[in-house]
Chain A
Amino acid sequence: MAMVDEPLYPIALLIDELKNDDIQLRLNSIRRLSTIARALGEERTRKELIPFLSENSDDDDEVLLAMAEELGVFIPFVGGIEHAHVLLPPLESLCTVEETSVREKAVDSLCKIGSQMKESDLVDSFVPLVKRLAAGEWFAARVSACGLFHVAYQGCTDVLKTELRSSYGQLCQDDMPMVRRAAASNLGKFATTVESTFLNAEIMTMFDGLTKDEQDSVRLLAVEGCAALGKLLEPQECVARILPVIVNFSQDKSWRVRYMVANQLYELCEAVGPDCTKTDLVPAYVRLLRDNEAEVRIAAAGKVTKFCQLLNPELAIQHILPCVKELSSDSSQHVRSALASVIMGMAPILGKDSTIEHLLPIFLSLLKDEFPDVRLNIISKLDQVNQVIGIDLLSQSLLPAIVELAEDRHWRVRLAIIEYVPLLASQLGIGFFDDKLGALCMQWMQDKVYSIREAAANNLKRLAEEFGSEWAMQHIVPQVLDMVNNPHYLHRMMALRAISLMAPVMGSEITCSKFLPVVVEASKDRVPNIKFNVAKLLQSLIPIVDQSVVDKTIRQCLVDLSEDPDVDVRYFANQALRSIDAAAVAQS
C-alpha cells in the first residue's frame, strides 16, 4: 500500500510524466524512480511499476540509459535480495536495444544485481536470462550476453556450467563480427570465473579461435585479452600458449594489431615472467620500435620507459637504447614527440653515468628538434632530468631551446612554454632565471595574442609566489607599473590585470603604497574599457586592503567613476560600490 507520509500529488505527477511527450519530463521522472517506488510501496513496485517499465523499451535513448542505471540500484525498493529477480525482465529488454551505451549500462546493472543474488535465484532466473540473450535473434542481445557470463557462471551447477561454456564458445564463432568482438573483450573476465581445468582446454581454444579471426577488429580485442588470460594461467602454460600468440601478433599483417601489441607489451611481460621477456619479448619489442608504420612506433616509443623498468639496465642499454637513438631522429615528428614525453623517465633506470653517456646526447638532440611539440615534451619533464644530471650541464642547451619556443610562431606553443616557466624557475633558481628569462616574461605581457598576455599575467603572479614579494618588488613590479603608461590601451589593461592578480600575493602594504596610486591614476584614462576595468579591479582590492583605505581612496574613486558618461563604467563602478556596502554590513 502507498505510504501516506509523502504528499501524493507530486508523486502522481511524476508517475504521469513517465509517459509525457516531453523527453525532459520523462527523464526527470525516471531519475526519480526511487521516489515513485517508495510511494508505491514494495509490493506495488514489484507488481505494477516494474512490469510497466518492462514495456517501456522503445523510449528515447537518454530515457533508457537513465532507466538502466536506476534499475541497477533498485533492489531495496522491490523488497530486498529475495525479490531481486523481478528487476531482470526490464533490464533484459534493455539489453536488446541497438544503442550501445544503453546496452552497456543495462549489462552493468544486471551484473550488479546478479552478483548480489542468492545462488538458487541465480540458477532460476539469471542463468536462463543469459541463455536467452545468448540465443537472441538479433546481434544486440548476443553482444549483451557476452558481458553477463562471468556473473552467471559462479554458483552454477556443473551441468549448467558446461552449457554456459559451450554457449560462450558459440558466441566466439558467431556470424556477426559485433558479437565476436564482445566475446573477445569479455573473455578475460569470463576466464577468471572458470575452473583451471576448463581454462586450459576450452577457454584457450576459444582464445585461439579469436586470435585467428578474419576480422582485424576481433583480433585487436583478442590482443587485449592476452595479458588478462596470461595472468590466470600457470607460468609454464602461459609461456606455452600465450607467448607464441603475442610473438605472432607482434608480426601481424595489420598495423593496428601490432599497435595494440606495442601498447600492451609491458603488461604481457609481467604475465610471462622475466626469462621469457628477455628471450622472446625484447626482440618482439625491438621489432615494434623499428616498425614500418609510424603509428606503431608512436605506441612503442610511448612505452619505452615502462618497458625498461621491467628489464635490467644492461639489457635496456644493449637492446632498447640503440632503438631509442634511432627514434630520436625518426622521420615522423609524432614518434619523436612520443619519445620525448617519456624518455626522461629512463634516466633513473639507467643511472647517472649511463644517462650522461647515452641519454644526454639523445636528450639534447630532441631539445633542438625542429618540431616544437618535441621540445616542449622534453621541457615539461625537466624536473626528472634535473634530478639525475643537474641543471648546469643542461642550461647551455636548454636556454636557446626555451628562447626559441618563447618566440615560436604558433601561439599555442608560446602558451605551453609559459605554463612551464614557474617549473623552470623553481628548477633553475633565482640567479639563472633573472639573467635569462625575466625579460621574456615581460615580453609576453605585450604579446599580440590575448591568451598569451593573460597567461603571462598569471605567470607573473606565480613567479611572485615562487620567489617571494621582495624579489617581485625588484624584478616585476617596476616593469608592470611602467606598462600602465603604455600608449596602447590593451597593454595598459594588461598591467591592470597583472596588478589584480598580484595584489593578493603581494599583500596589503605593497598594494596600498605601490598599486593603488597607479590604479587611481588609471581611473582617469580616456578609454572607457580601462575605466571599468579599474572599477572591477578596485572591487577585487576591497578584501585585501584596510577598511580605512577603502573608505578614503577606493570609495572616492568609485564614486567618481559612477558618474562617468559611459554606461558600462557606471555599471561596474556601482557594482563595486555595492560590494563595499555589503562588506561593511557583513563586518558590522
Chain B
Amino acid sequence: MNGGDDEDVVVVAASSGDQSPPLQWRFSQVFGERSAGEEVQPVDMISAIEFDHSGDHLATGDRGGRVVLFERSDAKHSSGGRRDLEETDYSVRHPEFCYKTEFQSHDPAFDYLKSLEIEEKINKIRWCQTANGALFLLSTNDKTIKYWKVQDKKIKKICDINADPSGAVGNGIVANGVPEALRLPVVTSHESSPVAKCRRVYPHAHDYHINSISINSDGETFISADDLRINLWNLEISNQSFNIVDVKPEKMEDLSEVITAAEFHPTHCNMLAYSSSKGSIRLIDLRQSALCDSHSKLFEEPDAAGSKSFFTEIIASVSDIKFAKEGRYLLSRDYMTLKLWDINMDSGPVSTFQVHEYLKPKLCDLYENDSIFDKFECCISGNGLRAATGSYSNLFRVFGVSPGSTETATLEASRNPMRRHVPVPSRPSKLGSILGRAGGSESTAGVDGNSSNALDYTTKLLHLAWHPNENLIACAAGNSLYMYCA
C-alpha cells in the first residue's frame, strides 16, 4: 500500500485499452418528474445523491430532511421474464432502479444557546458496510450526523396468546380468565417491508456547518468536516469524537480560508484529502500525528501571473472532491472547472476541463445574484475513465479524463437529454475544453457566449453521482431525479 507507486510520477494510463469510443448517453429513468406548470416546493429539492458500493442502491436526501432509497430492479428478476424478452434487442442491459422506501432523517431544530435555526436539509449521505442483509447509511444536516439501518422487516401477527382479551372459547381459557395450560404465542409472518431505524446520533461536535462526511476503509471510523474543523468518529461511539484538523485562526478576523470538502482515501486508512475555499487540496496522513494541522501534500494550481481579478479567488474555491476508485486520482470541482489530480504529482492538475467557459464574461452578474457561490458536485466513473459535473439550465457535462481522450458531452436533465445540443454549440468546445489550459478559451468563448442568453441561473444541477460499475449517472434537477445511461 505504500510501495513503489509513489515514485512513478509520469502519468500513464492504467491499460492501453482505455480509448473506448465516446459514450452515447440516453435517458433511462426519472423519479419525481415535475409536471408542466407544477411549482417545486423548496422542501422537495434534492440536496444529496449517493450510490452504495455495490451500485444496487441509490439514496437521495432533500431539503425537507427526507432520505429516499432506490433499489436496482433489473438484476433481480432476470430470468426469462417478459420484459427481458422485450429487451433482448439491446446488446447491453442497463441498470434500472425502483423506489424502495423513504424516511424522515432530520427535522428542523433550534439551537437555543445560539438562537439559530438548524435546517433539516440533508447535506450528505454516505453508505456504510452492509451487514446481515440490512443497509446502513450515514446522513447529515448542518449539525448532526445520524446512522441509519434499513432492513426488510416482516410484518408479524401474533396469535394464540394465553390471556385472550376477547375471551374467545376454545382458546384454552376457562371462564375466570385463568389459562388451563401455558402456551407460547405463535408468530406468523406475512409480507415484509423495509423499515428504517436510527441506530446512532452523533451530535454537538460542530460549531460550523457540516459540509462532508466520509467513511474510512477500516469500516469502523468516519470523519465529518465543517468550515473550520474535521472530526474523527468511531461508528459505534456517538458521544465522543477527535478533532484531527483545525484551521480556525486565533482571531476570526485573520480567517482567510475555510474547508469546503473532505474525503478519505478509498483504500489507505491513514490518508484523507480536504479542499479549501482558496482552491487548494491538502492530503494528510493520520499516522503522522494526532492533530494533522500540517499536510503531507498540497495540491494547488500554479498561479497564472497577471490574470487576477476580483473574482479569481471566489471562483477558485473547491466545491467538491472525489477520489477515483483506486485512490490514485482525485477529482475536484471549482466554479468554472473540473480538475483531475494525480496524488503522486503535486505540481499541478493532470488535466483541467472547462465546465462553462461562456460564463466568464458574466461573473459580475453571477456575483450579484450570489450564483457564484453555488457548490457544484462532481463524480467519476467506476473505471476512472470519465467524470461528470453539473452546470446551469439543468445541464451537466461528461468528460473523458483518461490521457488523450477528447470525449465530452453536454446533457440536459430532462427526458430528452440531447434536446439542447443543436442550438447550443457545445461540440466545437470539445476540443477547446480538452486542450484546456492552453488556447482553448479563445475558440470556445465566442461560440458558447451566444447560447448563454438562454441560461437559467435558478435551475442548476448541483448534485449528481456515477454508478460504481456501470455507465449510469443519477442527477438531481430540482425535486426530480434523472438517470442517464450509456
Contact = CB atoms under 8 A, between A and B. Distances in A.
Contact of B269 (A48, A178, A216): A216
A251 B155 CA distance: 55
Interface in A201-238: 214-217
B179 A12 contact: yes
Contact of B183 (A15, A138, A176, A217): A15
A255 B290 CA distance: 7
Contacts of B218: 177, 215-217
Interface in A241-267: 252-256
Given A52-B184, A216-B269, A12 B163 contact: yes
User: Which of A58, A100, A256 has most B Cβ within 10 Å?
Assistant: A58
Interface stretch (B71-79, B128-136, B412-420, B470-478): B128-136
User: Which of B153, B181, B182, B287 has most A Cβ within 10 Å?
Assistant: B182
B188 to A, nearest CB: 11
Given A58-B153, A96-B132, A100-B236, A18 B287 contact: no
A255 B289 contact: yes
Nearest to A218: B218
Contact of A2 (B133, B154, B182): B182
Nearest to A2: B182
User: Which of B153, B217, B269 has most A Cβ within 10 Å?
Assistant: B269
Contacts of B134: 98
B158 interface: yes
Task: Specify the main secondary structure of chain A where it touches its partner.
Answer: helix
Contacts of A52: 184
User: Chain A, interface size: which category?
Assistant: 35 or more
A292 B185 CA distance: 63
Interface string B155-179: 0101001110000000000000111
Given A215-B217, A255-B288, A15 B184 contact: yes
A542 B258 CA distance: 66
A40 B182 contact: yes
B270 interface: yes
A215 B265 CA distance: 12
Contacts of B288: 255, 293
Interface string B390-415: 00000000000000000000000000
A169 B129 CA distance: 23
Nearest to A56: B187
B171 to A, nearest CB: 12
Contacts of B42: none
B32 interface: no
A15 B185 contact: yes
Nearest to A253: B287
A292 B290 CA distance: 10
A166 to B, nearest CB: 25
A1 B184 CA distance: 14
Interface in B91-131: 129-131
A214 B268 CA distance: 8
B1 interface: yes
A2 B181 contact: yes
A139 B218 CA distance: 13
B249 interface: no
Nearest to A217: B218
A267 B288 CA distance: 26
Contacts of B149: 98
B162 A16 contact: yes
B177 to A, nearest CB: 8
A256 B234 CA distance: 15
A55 interface: yes
B446 interface: no
B131 A293 contact: no
Nearest to A179: B219
A87 B185 CA distance: 20
A302 to B, nearest CB: 15
Contact of B219 (A55, A96, A177): A177
Given A12-B163, A16-B162, A293 B182 contact: no
Interface in B362-399: none
Contacts, number: 106
A96 B288 CA distance: 36
Contacts of B163: 9, 12-13, 16
B240 to A, nearest CB: 15
A454 interface: no
B131 A12 contact: no
A216 B290 contact: no
Contacts of A15: 161-162, 182-185
A11 B182 contact: yes
A49 interface: yes
B220 interface: yes
A19 B131 contact: no
A216 B270 contact: yes
A215 B269 contact: yes
Interface in B255-273: 267-270
Contacts of A43: none
A498 B305 CA distance: 75
Interface string B194-226: 000000000000000000000001111100000
B182 A139 contact: no
A140 interface: yes
Nearest to B162: A12
A255 B287 contact: yes
Contacts of B132: 96-98, 138, 140
A18 B185 contact: yes
B184 A48 contact: yes
A292 B178 CA distance: 74
Given A253-B287, A293-B290, A176 B219 contact: yes
A294 interface: yes
Nearest to B220: A217
A295 interface: yes
A255 to B, nearest CB: 6
A2 B153 CA distance: 34
Interface in A536-579: none
A349 to B, nearest CB: 30
Contacts of A19: 156, 158, 161, 185, 187
Contacts of B181: 2, 8
A39 interface: yes
Contacts of A217: 218, 220-221, 269
Interface in A78-122: 96-98, 100
Nearest to B133: A138
Contacts of B158: 19
A467 B182 CA distance: 68
A526 to B, nearest CB: 36
A256 B287 contact: yes
Contacts of B184: 15, 18, 48-49, 52
List the 9 shortest-distance A-B pairs measured between CB atoms, nearest first.
Answer: A12-B162, A254-B287, A98-B131, A16-B161, A295-B290, A214-B1, A19-B158, A177-B218, A217-B218
27 contacts: A11-B182, A12-B162, A12-B163, A12-B182, A15-B184, A16-B162, A16-B163, A16-B185, A19-B156, A19-B158, A48-B184, A49-B184, A98-B134, A138-B133, A214-B1, A214-B267, A215-B269, A216-B269, A216-B287, A217-B218, A217-B269, A255-B287, A255-B290, A256-B287, A292-B289, A293-B289, A294-B290
Interface of B: 1, 129-134, 136, 149, 153-154, 156, 158, 161-163, 177-179, 181-185, 187, 217-221, 236, 267-270, 286-290
Interface of A: 2, 8-9, 11-13, 15-16, 18-19, 39-40, 44, 48-49, 52, 55, 58, 96-98, 100, 138-140, 176-178, 181, 214-217, 252-256, 292-295
Given A13-B163, A138-B132, A295-B290, 16 more contacts: A12-B182, A13-B162, A15-B185, A16-B185, A19-B161, A49-B184, A58-B154, A138-B130, A177-B219, A178-B219, A214-B1, A216-B218, A217-B221, A254-B286, A255-B288, A256-B286
